[in-house]
Structure 1
Amino acid sequence: MGLSVAMLAIGAAAAPAIAQDKSLTFSVMASGTYDKAAEALAADFQAKTGAKVTVAAFPWAILRQNNITDVVTGTNQYQVMSGGFYLADIYQHFVPLDDYIKKDNMTNGLVQGLMDPGRSEYFNGKQIGFPYGTDVYGVMVNDDLLKQAGVDANFKTWDDFLAACSTIESKDAGVACFSHPTGSPEQISAFFTGDYDGTYIDKNGHYALNVDKAVATGKLIAELWKHLPKQGNAMSFDEANAAFRDGKAAMLVTWPSFANAFLDADGSPIKGHWHQVSFPGPGFPQLSQWQLFMVDSAPDKDLAWDWMKTFAGPQAAKANYEKFGIGSPWQALYDDADLKAKHQHDWPAKLADLPRAQNLVLTGEALDFLNNTLQDIANGRTSPEDGVAAINAAWANFTVPQTLADVAVKVGAVEK
């Protein structure tokens, strides 16, 4: 075999290995939004970089567990992960992004404050997460039904909201006060954080709730659950949205990015007849601040960063919002004159709530126990008193990661 032929043979043999290396797998929530946006961008990304992106999409709880398992077991299937504060136990396995962010000036144009600790994720003082999919838990109201009932939707507290429920239902027995994706158990904590204004970590550095305040919030949630649609304690996101759209519920409590495009679709009976109001309560509205994490086992970190910029960068923000309803961390989206004019019924409340929106300072297991116990309280399987006692007893055995403890101090979540 001649030298040139031999070299060609070597090149041909090597080609598959090179092509195989030029790929990455991205884990993301299967929501019909984030995953679909990733799939839409993957083809162009491959055309520009030669790298194939595999989108591994899972429901939220499974996504969280898969991300953790992938790192802990060293399986290393995913090079870029979607997640948030509930992945704190594996933060040490994520690549610091400070140099990448600085090199590409990726802070320029972000909504103010979204890179702060407690909103974006840090480990040992280094930023490890980059934000996308910004959303704030919201309350949407049917203008016609509330007007008919004589209800002012300017709810300062959840007690105000609860009082409105009785008024609304007294005017029309066929209309429930509100709908909510009750079938997703992790969603119930949005009511808890909205009403509860106590701390989450005690003086000794352990997870713990203020008993009196937590019991009061538990009682409130149990009362609220009485005003769901009939057989409404296991509603999917789609079912909750449809109940509101079709006038079977006067209000909807959910993530706006999972509802607003559906409510404003052509042919929707509620289009032009609803608006979003400020989230009630002395606590805080939950922030959905999805983060992109680069795993330290990623073989090509520059390629991983290129995908992160492509998916979460400003160039994709408008298309991701218009096509998939994904809220953006980029200010330019909210300054777009055409979009701004179309969203006078929802954006003002969202942007007003954004400065006070927060992530929880809980690990995944602590959050799971809170949500599951709140479900028991809401559905009458345990009393608020017993439920809060059970939460504190279980939480006493959970470790507070230092990174979340540091954030908790900054946001006032630690008992003084």
Structure 2
Amino acid sequence: MTSMTRALLGATALCACGLAAAAQQTTITIATVNNGDMIRMQGLSDVFTEAHPDIALEWVTLEENVLRQNVTTDIATGGGQYDVITIGTYEVPIWGRQGWLVPLDDLPADYDVDDLLPPIRAGLSVDGTLYAVPFYGESSFVMYRTDLMEAAGLQMPEAPTWDFIREAAAAMNNPEAGVHGICLRGKPGWGENMAFLTAMANSFGARWFDENWQPQFDSEAWANTINFYLDLMNNYGPPGASANGFNENLTLFQQGKCGMWIDATVAASFVTDPNNSTVADKVGFALAPDNGLGKRGNWLWAWSLAIPASSDAVDAAKTFIAWATSKDYTELVAEREGWANVPPGTRTSLYENPAYLEAAPFAQMTLDAINSADPNAPTVDPVPYTGVQFVAIPEFQGIGTSVGQEFAAALAGQKTAEEALAAAQEIATREMRAAGYIQ
């Protein structure tokens, strides 16, 4: 046999081995949201694929509203387009009961399910069975410019009222200098402006439905909520706010254009990151505001990873989600990006870790906000539903988005508050009647 023949035979054997390895490789498609922590996960996923060469990852990264629409359509129809989906505390219990998600009751022992924060774990479970694992958990709180607050001669209380927030917004507002007193969500969507407005409404004594499922947008409490919100945003907010969601306001705050921002606690590591925030050393934190009625305007949420029942790669998908939400992944982020940037709000052990507590001045307030949000009693007056910034019924996704469009139109000056509230009442009544909740 000549040396050339041997070389050709060797190359053929290597090629055959390569083809066999490729044939044995399982590809999982992951649908996720374009938030900073998820983009970081994608960037670090080479560590996973090096350890699991038999699993290939295909990413679909989408804006929040688009992700929800695509994932909901796919899972409701059993389309099987995705093997791992990024969903939240709203979807998990509803979809788990429908049989649309794979139960996660057989994760390896070293995953340590019991380390998950109790409020977060409970929100992702049905009758004690976990149907999604949290990538990060959050509530909401006030982020503010300490330098502007000091220049205004004010001191932010640890637990401010909405009246103080308005006073501070007015004092810090300086549009000529490119600084707006406050930035809040305005982009329509049940998980965008309605997440903020529903939590805010809870603190004003409002509720989506009374105990008989009758919509309540014609109540004084909702009128007070929306008028206060519009007053804040029209007088002290940035222009074009009806197009601003989480990511847009994050950019504005990082660029020093917001005196205050009330939003997800997960934003804390991004606004204090000197590599991305021009005001990193000038940020303070406070609990979400209240009106003295016993409820603060903070929510409870977890962006989580779940496996659709339609997936044909369940084992590979479980291997990935266990890695991406593990203690080892937290250590990996800490090693690469620093402890302040690890995904927050999921594990008890993180809030007992001295290295994290030292690096993240917002850690304890995040934990306090998460623990104070009560999905089982979200409002001042009794309600028949669970959920803090959402109503945990299947119909809420459509109703919430339609109502959000009405309030965004009011913020854009296309409708009055009264017109938007009347339209919201009509939408909610029509849909709840069609769904059989009311006659």
Match of 1:303 among 316, 323, 333: 316
C-alpha distance in structure 2 between counterparts of 1:95 and 1:243, whole Å? 37
Residue 356 of structure 2: aligned partner: 339
Contact 1:42 1:52 in 2 (8 A): no
Residue 63 of structure 1: aligned partner: 67
Matched to 1:333, the amino acid is: L
Residue 26 of structure 1: aligned partner: 30
C-alpha distance in structure 1 between counterparts of 2:232 and 2:129, whole Å? 41
Residue 381 of structure 2: aligned partner: none
Instruction: Give SS of 1:114's match.
Output: helix
Q: 1:289 to 1:242 in 2, by over 3 A?
A: closer
Identity %: 18
Q: Deviation per CA, 1:326-385, whole angstroms, max 9, x where unpaired? A: 3240122222222211222x2232222111234522521122123222212333322333
C-alpha distance in structure 2 between counterparts of 1:166 and 1:378, whole Å? 18
Q: 1:54 to 1:98 in 2, by over 3 A?
A: closer
Match of 1:113 among 115, 119, 123: 119
TM-score normalized with structure 1 length: 0.80
Q: Deviation per CA, 1:69-88, whole angstroms, max 9, x where unpaired? A: 22234321112211124547
Q: CA deviation at 1:32?
A: 3.7
Residue 178 of structure 1: aligned partner: 182
2:180 is aligned with 1:147: no
TM-score normalized with structure 2 length: 0.76
Long gaps (5+) in structure 1: 1-7, 406-416
Task: Identify the range of structure 1 (96-105 vs 174-183) with the bigger mean alpha-carbon deviation.
Answer: 96-105
2:359 is aligned with 1:329: no
Instruction: Give SS of 2:182's match.
Output: strand
Residue 53 of structure 1: aligned partner: 57
Q: Deviation per CA, 1:239-279, whole angstroms, max 9, x where unpaired? A: 53454345443212333434533433158542332211111
Contact 1:25 1:54 in 2 (8 A): yes
Q: 1:331 to 1:389 in 2, by over 3 A?
A: same
C-alpha distance in structure 1 between counterparts of 2:268 and 2:186, whole Å? 15
C-alpha distance in structure 2 between counterparts of 1:177 and 1:300, whole Å? 49
Residue 188 of structure 1: aligned partner: 193
Residue 41 of structure 1: aligned partner: 45
Residue 364 of structure 2: aligned partner: 348
Instruction: Give SS of 2:120's match.
Output: coil
Task: Identify the range of structure 1 (104-113 vs 147-156) with the bigger mean alpha-carbon deviation.
Answer: 104-113
Instruction: Give SS of 2:32's match.
Output: strand
Corresponding pairs, count: 388
Match of 1:373 among 387, 401, 406: 406
Residue 255 of structure 1: aligned partner: 264
Q: CA deviation at 1:232?
A: 4.6
Instruction: Give SS of 2:357's match.
Output: helix
Match of 1:390 among 410, 414, 423: 423
C-alpha distance in structure 2 between counterparts of 1:349 and 1:133, whole Å? 15
Contact 1:169 1:175 in 2 (8 A): yes
C-alpha distance in structure 2 between counterparts of 1:75 and 1:112, whole Å? 33
Contact 1:192 1:217 in 2 (8 A): no
C-alpha distance in structure 2 between counterparts of 1:149 and 1:355, whole Å? 32
Residue 8 of structure 2: aligned partner: none
Q: CA deviation at 1:221?
A: 0.8
C-alpha distance in structure 1 between counterparts of 2:216 and 2:333, whole Å? 39
2:301 is aligned with 1:288: yes
C-alpha distance in structure 2 between counterparts of 1:268 and 1:157, whole Å? 27
Contact 1:195 1:280 in 2 (8 A): no
C-alpha distance in structure 2 between counterparts of 1:230 and 1:74, whole Å? 42
C-alpha distance in structure 2 between counterparts of 1:229 and 1:222, whole Å? 9
Match of 2:280 among 251, 266, 271: 271
Matched to 1:249, the amino acid is: C
Contact 2:89 2:301 in 1 (8 A): no
Task: Identify the range of structure 1 (202-211 vs 324-333) with the bigger mean alpha-carbon deviation.
Answer: 202-211
Q: CA deviation at 1:214?
A: 1.0
Q: 1:23 to 1:264 in 2, by over 3 A?
A: closer
Contact 1:177 1:250 in 2 (8 A): yes
C-alpha distance in structure 1 between counterparts of 2:350 and 2:31, whole Å? 25
Q: CA deviation at 1:25?
A: 1.2
